[in-house]
Amino acid sequence: MEHVSVMLQQCLEALNVREDGIYVDGTLGRGGHACAIAGRLKSGKLYCFDLDRSAIEESDGKLARTGADYELILSNFINMKAELNKRGVEAVDGILLDLGVSSPQFDDPSRGFSYRYDSRLDMRMDQSQTLDAQLIVNTYSYQDLVRILRDYGEEKFAPAIARNIEKARTLKQIETTGELVDIIRQSMPARVLNKKGHPAKQTFQALRIEVNHELDNLRSVLDQGLQLLKPQGRMAVITFHSLEDEIVKKVFRNACQNQQIDKRIPLKDSELKQADYQLVNKKVITADQAELESNHRSHSAKLRVIERRTSQ
């Protein structure tokens, strides 16, 4: 299945791309957003980050055809500030983060992201790391499994799934996505299994987040991104589930809070120090109807955008 970039036009509008600007795509994937940004550059430059070597290799040719100045960086986006600083870049005009797993990763059975294929349990974005889904399922304690499934998957049947994982692994190691799906199905009542939607969706999401430290990494890159923005620079973030969106919403809201003082102190609003940042859109941006009909992965996508104010 071809990967279709989510909310492409909305992202370009949100970033307000300037032809001479410096931009960062922190989640290169298959290069859809990056190529669109690069296509608007003349004297500017684009830096792209991805942990997946195949994503870097596949996107390189696409970006080369845009004629833009770009650099691909094989690294986790939590290293964004350090990697850019090494290249003499202290501030940028725009940063894009698309937090969805790319379609080719889901659609490649060997990557173990999807419950649609029976393959080795893996789910690593960075295939050089040791921690993978198989290691978690076979070694984490019952309590840790419950915590992950509840906190990262919002799974109501976390205790039953964790208990059945414990039982199954005493007989043999759980090695494949298919084996895990069977355990999940055995842990749920028939009334739930008969409902629309795959019963393994939330468990697989939870394991993927734990394998890749997604929420901790997100907090880190948001903080770095805010520091890197130039005055009038913007950061746009697309999330795909409520846990990510709540983190982005909270970080952005806190960054946009004006100075707080005791209400009894007689100061006008104009005399208070204003926040260094402002929301570009106070209401979250979602996909339009045409995209909702043509790209099913856009249904859960939410776009939030923040801008650094000019120096006061």
pLDDT tens column, 237-272:
999 999 999 999 999 999 998 766 656 566 665 656
Looking at per-residue confidence, does 82 or 102 come out higher? 82
Looking at per-residue confidence, does 297 or 69 come out higher? 69
> Is the model's pLDDT at 20 over the cut of 70?
yes
Q: Summarize pLDDT for 100-123 with one digit per residue, the tens.
A: 876 566 777 888 888 988 999 999
At residue 2 the predicted structure's pLDDT band, cuts being 50, 70 and 90, is low
> Is the model's pLDDT at 34 over the cut of 80?
yes
DSSP labels for the chain?
A: -----TTHHHHHHHHT--TT-EEEES--TTSHHHHHHHTT-SS-EEEEEES-HHHHHHHHHHHHTTT-EEEEEES-GGGHHHHHHHTT---EEEEEEE-SPPHHHHH-GGG---TTS--BS---SSTTSS--HHHHHHHS-HHHHHHHHHHHH--TTHHHHHHHHHHHHHHS---BHHHHHHHHHHTS-HHHHTSSS-TTHHHHHHHHHHHHTHHHHHHHHHHHHHHHEEEEEEEEEEE-SHHHHHHHHHHHHHHTPPP---TTS---GGGSPPPSEEES-SSPB---HHHHHH-GGGTT-EEEEEEEPPP-
Structural domains for the chain = 8-98+214-308 (3.40.50.150), 111-212 (1.10.150.170)
Quick check: pTM over 0.85?
Answer: yes
Q: Summarize pLDDT for 132-167 with one digit per residue, the tens.
A: 999 999 999 999 999 999 999 999 999 999 999 999
pLDDT above 70 covers a percentage of the chain that reads 92
* The amino acid at 67: G
> Is the model's pLDDT at 92 over the cut of 50?
yes
Q: Can you give the pLDDT at residue 195?
A: 86
Q: Can you give the pLDDT at residue 267?
A: 60
Average pLDDT along the chain: 91
